[in-house]
Structure 1
Amino acid sequence: MSQQQSEVIVVGAGPTGLLLAGDLAEAGVEVTVLEKRGAAISNLTRAFAVHARTLEVLDARGLTDDLFALGGNRLSELFLFGSAKIRLGGLDSRFPCVLMTPQYNVERVLRERATAAGARFRFGCKVTGVDQTESRTTVRTDRGDFHAAYVVGADGVRSAVREAAGIPFPGEAVLTSMMLADAELADPPAQSPSVGSAGGAFCFVADFGDGTWRVIAWNAADQQDDDAPVATDEIRTALKLAFGTDFGMREPRWRSRFHSDERQAPTYRVGSVLLAGDAAHCHSPAGGMGMNTGLQDAANLSWKLAAVLRGADPALLDTYEAERHPVGETVLRSSGRILRVAANKSKVVKAVRGAVLGTALRLDPVQHKVTGLISGIDIRYPHAHGEHPLTGTRARDVDLADGSRLYEALRGGRFVVLDGTEPTGAVDVASAEPDGLTRVVRPDGYLGWVGADDPAAVRAYLEARAVTD
């Protein structure tokens, strides 16, 4: 193919676009990534939390150890207000924690993988339009036109792809003039992360494990435009109001101002144009679920795009929106509730929220539901009537009879049939502790087919997804 012709164009080289591009390239798909920024990985990043389900997604790509090696702080507990505590240590996962690490570390491991797999990058390339015909889609940029069968907009909240495709982005701003910074604290709090709210201010601080803390601050009395520079004293003032101290915050390494929106595209697909990550949904930073949701969008979409390009029914792409849109909506609602409680000015709410939440979270069913939501472990996709109820659930990482693990077997983007008869040469077949069921594990780590051992049914399921010899 020419340098400006690909099978898939991914617009945006943030975490979502990089994971998607790496998956497609490893599947043998010609993929080009267009990014308006320069080639340098910026340290001006908002995301900071990598939750358990995302660590599993990265593990299925052999990247989790690489990410851990770059540093960060693994936390088994998250503190909200007062005695309210989310206990991640009990998660049924190889990674019962959240990793606090700057977004640029995530981008680094994902970009290295995508580059090694053969993804092409075009940096400093600004998208100006998108045109669709029956045969191909054209992305117009300030560096010429690029052509592909499919285009994925992973270009953030202000997505040029979404705008060009005419997809609306309804919602509202929840809080304006929120401040972000990474800085050293001379006298840090005993708990990380810590949340404080008082005096009309709301602040969040989290330890990256290298002496640097992420600070998110909001002061109702100090509201400015997003493009207004952030003074260090503004952040210190908000910290003192919220916590009673600024923790001896030193001059930040970087700082910025933004507003927290709750928005979601009503559709993630128009013809051959699809949306993923912040281009499809955005929400408050509360809970640290934004980047994680985008990465899991990419994991869901990548194998489906590859399958359609190999000959599967294009209707398979409709399942991307059907599965991921409800997840985005749930994250939007839950993170919004956390932020509204934190920023609530009512003295009554402030007086009781910690005690009420703390009491509720001591109840095992409540704790399980909250940890499953925030970590992403309990995400499940709808299954059709008559399918086994396990269909659409996350596949647990299990030890296999050959001494390896399921998530190691998933590396390479292949389907894995657990405890079944091999239906084709294009899947991995593995054996775990038998329970009378055969499971077909999709490349994104979810169960696509579950039932009694039935090679013909398994073969039909795989062939419908273009998995053949």
Structure 2
Amino acid sequence: MTVLIVGAGPTGLTLACELARRGVACRVVDKAPELFIGSRGKGLQPRTLEVFEDLGVLDAVHAGGEPFPKFRLYQGKEVVWERAVHEMLGTPEPTASPTVPYPSPWLIPQWRTDEILRDRFVELGGQLELGTEVLGFEQDADGVLAHTNRGEIRASYLVGTDGGRSTVRKALGVGFAGETFQTERTLVGDVRADGLDGRFCHILTDAGDITKRFSLWNLPGSEHYQFVASMATEKVPELSLDGVRSLLDERTGRTDVHLHDLRWISLYQVNVRMADRFRVGRVLLAGDAAHVHSAASGQGLNTSVQDAYNLGWKLASVLGGADESLLDSYEAERMPVAAHVLGLSTLLHQRNFRSGPAPSIHQLDITYRGGPLAVDDRADPGELRAGDRAPDGLLPDGTRLFDAFRGPHATVLAFGGTRETFAVPTVSLAPCEGYDVTEGTFVLVRPDGYIGAISSSAEVIRRHPAATC
């Protein structure tokens, strides 16, 4: 039983790690001859850091990145202001707590995130198959037969994580409804820049107009900066180092900033689109193959990682004998999340650094309440509900709840002690911060760190699809 993953970006590699650590055989193919070399998705949100801790890669992510720098606005060479991310959003400064260990976003170039996930996959026994393009496929009741430029691959399931232009989605005939912002383009790439001081998101302007900016982000552990500039479609410069230099001069008038060593460049057209379906039989879509949107608010890579995290344990469970209907919950849970992210990123894109109501971008408040796997039979539910992210917490022995959750298994939290036994690890504890439940209550935490069930009945917990994972 094999899962074929088409696309070796953050989505596909996260899913590969999820499956591999559960002992599920998977093949990851990508038509590119090498991993992506650009910094594109450079921000990891707090929830993604929690996911990566569970996958065993957080130490490497911390070593390869740094806290998000402040934004610094220039008018010519003069610094107008410096603001942290929370100040840009108009929210309180985030602080760590027992329930939220990683409250702030983390800066790390996408190419390094890809390498870390690849290395983890290899450590778990996997291997990438680069230069392998899926040309088409067909499925039957028992599996999927994919045709590639290197031969045929038979798999139990196929997951398309091959980006916004997804070959898998197109071959399925799944619609990709939404809109394209026809009148604007965004230029992004990696380049060295001499003449800037300090580690910031340097927002360079000529007259202080933030809507006419040329941004240069310091990248951790690298001499390159990521540059970002949006413009009208008819004003797109040549996609070359000279073209980027001309745009910098036009936007800022500065001659003291010297750009050189262009590593990567891309012209980005903002699309706000979502697939009509995330599953067709034995073929599923995740990440940009299922939804694309503006880069504003840094949600893309993070939403894609959570797609994979949601899908991984379900695929493994079904391959291990669980009812195949469990896979339907993937679309039911993730499609509303994708729709919300499309709306959030579009709002912040249109705001274009102007002030407004503070949005939530940390993804800690994503919930599957009301979904097919959320069971909560309490007469008087508290603030924490089934479907919510399970908060971290400190245990009397000095360990954390996340330590208990870590791994491919589900966990039962038994509040007030119990003689009941479950097929998954059980932690007995008193009601604590983040868990406003009464004694005698059981909380089932799914393998992906979301609450599957809250009940005083052990049998209700045992009947949950995650209770044997």
Specify the alignment match of 2:226 in structure 1. Answer: 214
Whether 1:178 and 2:186 are equivalent positions in the alignment is yes
- CA distance in 1 between partners of 2:197 and 2:272 (Å): 30
Asked if 1:55 corresponds to 2:67, the answer is no
Structure 2 residues without counterparts, runs of 5 or longer? 72-82, 432-436
Asked if 1 retains the 8 angstrom alpha-carbon contact of 2:160 and 2:166, the reply is yes
Bigger share in helix? 1
Q: Deviations over 1:303-335 (max 9, x none)?
A: 011111111111111111111111111111111
Show the 5 A alignment for 1:41-440.
41-75=35-69, 85-87=90-92, 89-90=94-95, 93-174=100-181, 176-188=184-196, 192-193=200-201, 198=209, 201-210=212-221, 211-220=223-232, 222-224=234-236, 230-239=239-248, 245=254, 248-251=257-260, 252-342=262-352, 354=354, 356-357=355-356, 360=357, 366=358, 370=359, 373-383=360-370, 387=377, 390-419=385-414, 421=418, 426-434=423-431, 435=437, 436=439, 437-440=441-444
Question: Taking structure 1 as reference, are residues 246 and 326 closer, same or farther at Cα in structure 2, changes over 3 Å only?
Answer: farther
2:458 corresponds in structure 1 to: 455
How many Å apart are 1:240 and its aligned residue?
A: 5.3
Within 2, Cα distance between the matches of 1:50 and 1:199? 24
Which residue of structure 2 aligns with residue 347 of structure 1? none
1:447 is displaced (CA, Å) by 0.5
Change (3 A) 1:83 1:382: closer
Q: How far 1:430 moved relative to its partner?
A: 1.9
Does the CA contact (< 8 Å) of 1:414 and 1:426 recur in 2? Answer: no
User: Once structures 1 and 2 are overlaid, which stretch shifts more, 160-169 or 188-197?
Assistant: 188-197
**1:459 Cα deviation from its structure 2 partner:** 1.6
Distance in 2 (CA, whole Å) between partners of 1:422 and 1:314 is 32
Q: 2 CA distance for matches of 1:264 and 1:150?
A: 22
Which segment drifts farther, 238-247 or 157-166?
A: 238-247
Distance in structure 1 (CA, Å) of the matches to 2:256 and 2:325: 54
Say if 1:171 and 1:221 are closer, same or farther in 2 by CA, change over 3 A: closer
Deviation string for 1:130-160 (max 9, x for gaps)?
2011111111111111111111101111111
Residue 112 of structure 1: how far off its partner (Å): 1.4
Distance 1:240 1:410, change over 3 A: farther
Percent of aligned positions with the same letter in both sequences?
34
Contact 1:310 1:466 in 2 (8 A): no
Confirm or deny: 8 A CA contact 1:183 1:249 kept in the other structure.
no
Return the alpha-carbon distance in structure 1 between the equivalents of residues 460 and 449 of structure 2.
20
The two structures have a TM-score, normalised by structure 2, of 0.83
Compared with structure 1, are the counterparts of its residues 100 and 13 closer, same or farther at alpha carbon in structure 2 (3 Å cutoff)?
Answer: same
Distance 1:433 1:208, change over 3 A: farther
Aligned partner letter, 2:189: A
| CA distance in 2 between partners of 1:30 and 1:466 (Å) | 23
Amino acid at match of 1:98: P
Residues 57 and 221 (structure 1), Cα distance of their counterparts in 2 relative to 1, 3 Å cut: closer
Deviation of residue 259 (structure 1)?
1.5
In the alignment, which of 23, 33, 37 is matched to residue 28 of structure 1? 23
Deviations 1:5-30 (A, max 9, x none): x4211111111101101111111111
Query: Measured at CA, do residues 196 and 385 of structure 1 come closer, stay the same or move farther in structure 2, by a change above 3 Å?
Result: farther
CA distance in 2, matches of 1:98, 1:10: 28
Distance 1:386 1:71 in 2: 39
Deviates more, 1:259-268 or 1:66-75: 66-75
Please tell me whether the aligned partners of residues 441 and 448 of structure 1 are also in contact (alpha carbons under 8 angstroms): yes
User: Do 2:412 and 2:444's aligned partners in 1 also have CA atoms closer than 8 Å?
Assistant: yes
Q: 1:79 to 1:85 in 2, by over 3 A?
A: farther
**Secondary structure of the structure 2 residue equivalent to 1:287:** coil
- CA displacement, residues 48-70 of structure 1 (integer Å, 9 cap, x when unaligned): 10110100111112211111112
The farther-off stretch of 135-144 and 430-439 is: 430-439
For residues 247 and 338 of structure 1, the distance between their equivalents in structure 2, rounded to whole angstroms, comes to 31
Distance 1:150 1:84, change over 3 A: closer
Cα distance in 2 between the residues matched to 1:76 and 1:391:
36
**Cα distance change on mapping 1:253 and 1:52 into 2, 3 Å:** same
Whole-angstrom CA distance in 2 between matches of 1:157 and 1:57 = 23
Query: Which range moved further: 382-391 or 215-224?
Result: 382-391
Q: Distance in 1 between matches of 2:159 and 2:429?
A: 36
Distance in 2 (alpha carbons) for counterparts of 1:385 and 1:26: 27
SS in 2 for 1:413: coil
The answer to whether the Cα contact below 8 Å between 1:24 and 1:306 also exists between their aligned partners in 2 is yes
What is the alpha-carbon root mean square deviation over aligned residues? 2.9
Amino acid paired to 2:341: V
**Cα distance change, pair 196–419 in 1 and its aligned pair in 2 (3 A):** farther
CA displacement 1:161-206 (0-9 Å, x = unmatched): 1111111112222264321122344344778435578497454443
Read off the aligned partner of 1:293 and give its amino acid letter: T
| Post-superposition offset of 1:382 | 2.4
TM-score by length of 1: 0.83
The alpha-carbon distance between structure 1 residues 309 and 266, as it changes in their structure 2 partners (threshold 3 A), is same
Evaluate the alpha carbon distance shift between residue 50 and residue 152 of structure 1 in structure 2; reply closer, same or farther with a 3 A threshold.
Answer: same
Compared with structure 1, are the counterparts of its residues 167 and 424 closer, same or farther at alpha carbon in structure 2 (3 Å cutoff)?
A: farther
How far, CA to CA, are the matches of 1:392 and 1:75 in structure 2?
Answer: 33
**AA at the equivalent of 1:451:** S
Note the residue ranges of structure 1 that are not aligned, 5 or more in a row: 1-5, 343-352, 361-365
Quick one: structure 1 residues 182 and 274, their matched pair in 2 at CA, closer, same or farther if it must change by over 3 Å? same
Amino acid at match of 2:29: L
